[in-house]
Amino acid sequence: MQSMESTRSTRSLSFPDKVLHRVFTHLTSNEDRNSVSLVCKTWYNADRLSRSKVSIRNCYSVSPEILVRRFPNVRCVTLKGKPRFSDFNLVPPDWGADVHAWLVAFADKYPLLEELSLKRMVVSDESLEFLAFSFPDFKRLSLLSCDGFTTDGLEAIASYCKNLTEFDIQENGVEDTSGSWLSYFLESFTSLEVLNFANLSSEVDFDALERLVSRCKSLKVLKVNRSVSLEQLQKLLVLAPQLVELGTGSFSQEFSAHQFVDLESCFSSCKNIQSLSGLCDATARYLPAIYPACANLTFLNLSYSAMGSDELDELLMHCPCLQRLWVLDTVGDKGLEAVGSNCPLLEELRVFPSDPFDDDTIQGVTEAGFLAVSFGCPRLHYVLYFCQQMTNAAVATIVQNCPDFTHFRLCIMNPRQPDYLTNEPMDEAFGAVVKTCTKLQRLSVSGLLTDLAFEYIGKHAKNLEVLSIAFAGSSDRGMQCVMEGCPKIRKLEIRDCLFGDAALLSGLDKYESMRSLWMSSCNLTMDGCRLLAKKMPRLNVEVIQEDESDDSEADKVYVYRTVAGPRKDSPPSVFTL
Amino acid sequence: MERLVSFESHHDHDLNLKATELRLGLPGSDEPEKQTTSSVRSNKRSSTKISQESNTNNSSVSDDHEDCAPPSKAQVVGWPPIRSYRKNTLQAKNKSEREVGGAGIYVKVSVDGAPYLRKIDLKVYKCYPELLEALENMFKLTIGYSGSDYAPTYQDKDGDWMLVGDVPFHMFITSCKRLRIMKGSEPRGLGSCVGQDMKV
pLDDT by residue, tens only, chain A of 577 residues:
545 555 555 554 556 778 888 888 888 888 888 888 899 998 898 899 989 999 999 999 999 999 999 999 999 999 999 999 999 999 999 999 999 999 999 999 999 999 999 999 999 999 999 999 999 999 999 999 999 999 999 999 999 999 999 999 988 888 888 889 999 999 999 999 999 999 888 889 999 999 999 999 999 999 999 899 988 999 999 999 999 999 998 887 777 888 888 999 999 999 999 999 999 888 778 889 999 999 999 999 999 988 889 999 999 999 999 999 999 999 999 999 999 999 999 999 999 999 887 767 778 999 999 999 999 999 999 999 999 999 999 999 999 999 999 999 999 999 999 999 999 999 999 999 999 999 999 999 999 999 999 999 999 999 999 999 999 999 999 999 999 999 999 999 999 999 999 999 999 999 999 999 999 999 999 999 999 999 999 999 999 987 766 788 999 999 999 999 999 999 988 989 8
Cα–Cα distances in angstroms (integers) from residue A457 to residues A445, A453, A454, B58, B163, in the given order: 11, 6, 5, 35, 56
Cα separation, A21 vs B35, in Å, equals 60
Q: What integer is the mean pLDDT of B63-88?
A: 67
Helix (H) or strand (E) holding A328: strand A324-328
User: To 5 degrees, how large is the angle CA B43–CA B45–CA B48?
Assistant: 110
Who contacts A168 (Cβ-Cβ below 8 Å, separation ≥6)?
Answer: A140, A141, A142, A143, A144, A194, A195, A196, A221
Q: How many Å from the N-terminal Cα to the C-terminal Cα in chain A?
A: 46
Rg of chain B over CA atoms, in angstroms?
20
Cα separation, A406 vs A348, in Å, equals 10
Burial of A10 (0-12, 13-18, 19+ CB in 10 A): exposed
Q: With 90 as the cut, is the pLDDT of residue B102 above it?
A: no
Whether residue A353 lies within 8 A of chain B, CB to CB, comes out as yes
Inspect the interface and report whether the beta carbons of A145 and B118 lie closer than 8 Å. no
- Cβ pair A137, A112 in contact under 8 A: yes
Whether residue A415 lies within 8 A of chain B, CB to CB, comes out as yes
Least Cα distance to B174 among B193, B158, B156, B151 occurs for B156
Who contacts B10 (Cβ-Cβ below 8 Å, separation ≥6)?
Answer: B186
Cα separation, B112 vs A422, in Å, equals 27
Q: With 70 as the cut, is the pLDDT of residue B55 above it?
A: no
Residues of chain B positioned with their CB less than 8 A from the CB of A352: 82, 86
- Cβ pair A529, A558 in contact under 8 A: no
pLDDT of residue A367: 97
Who contacts A302 (Cβ-Cβ below 8 Å, separation ≥6)?
Answer: A277, A279, A312, A325, A326, A327, A328, A331
Q: With 80 as the cut, is the pLDDT of residue B43 above it?
A: no
- Cβ pair A389, A425 in contact under 8 A: no
CA quadruple A65, A70, A76, A79: dihedral positive or negative?
A: negative
Closest approach of B188 to chain A, Cα-based (Å): 27
Cα separation, B68 vs B74, in Å, equals 16
Residue type, B38: S
Burial of A201 (0-12, 13-18, 19+ CB in 10 A): middle
3-state secondary structure of B118: strand
A466-498 confidence digits (pLDDT tens):
999 999 999 999 999 999 999 999 999 999 999
Residue type, B3: R
Residues of chain B positioned with their CB less than 8 A from the CB of A327: none
pLDDT of residue B103: 59
pLDDT of residue A18: 81
Up-side HSE of residue A327: CA atoms within 13 Å toward CB? Answer: 28
Inspect the interface and report whether the beta carbons of A354 and B90 lie closer than 8 Å. yes
B139-176 confidence digits (pLDDT tens):
888 887 666 678 899 998 888 898 888 889 988 988 89
Whether residue A188 lies within 8 A of chain B, CB to CB, comes out as no
Residue type, A472: A
Whether residue A352 lies within 8 A of chain B, CB to CB, comes out as yes
Strand partners, A179: A204
Q: Which residue of B has its CA nearest to A283?
A: B103
Who has greater pLDDT, B29 or A513?
A513
Helix (H) or strand (E) holding B120: strand B118-121
- B4 pLDDT band, cuts 50/70/90, is very low
Q: Which residue of B has its CA nearest to A426?
A: B35
Whether residue A9 lies within 8 A of chain B, CB to CB, comes out as no
- Cβ pair A351, A365 in contact under 8 A: yes
Backbone angles phi, psi at A445, to 5 degrees: -110, 160
Q: With 60 as the cut, is the pLDDT of residue B193 above it?
A: no
- Which of A277, A334, A414, A555 to probe by mutation at the B interface, max B CB count within 10 Å? A414
Whether residue B61 lies within 8 A of chain A, CB to CB, comes out as no
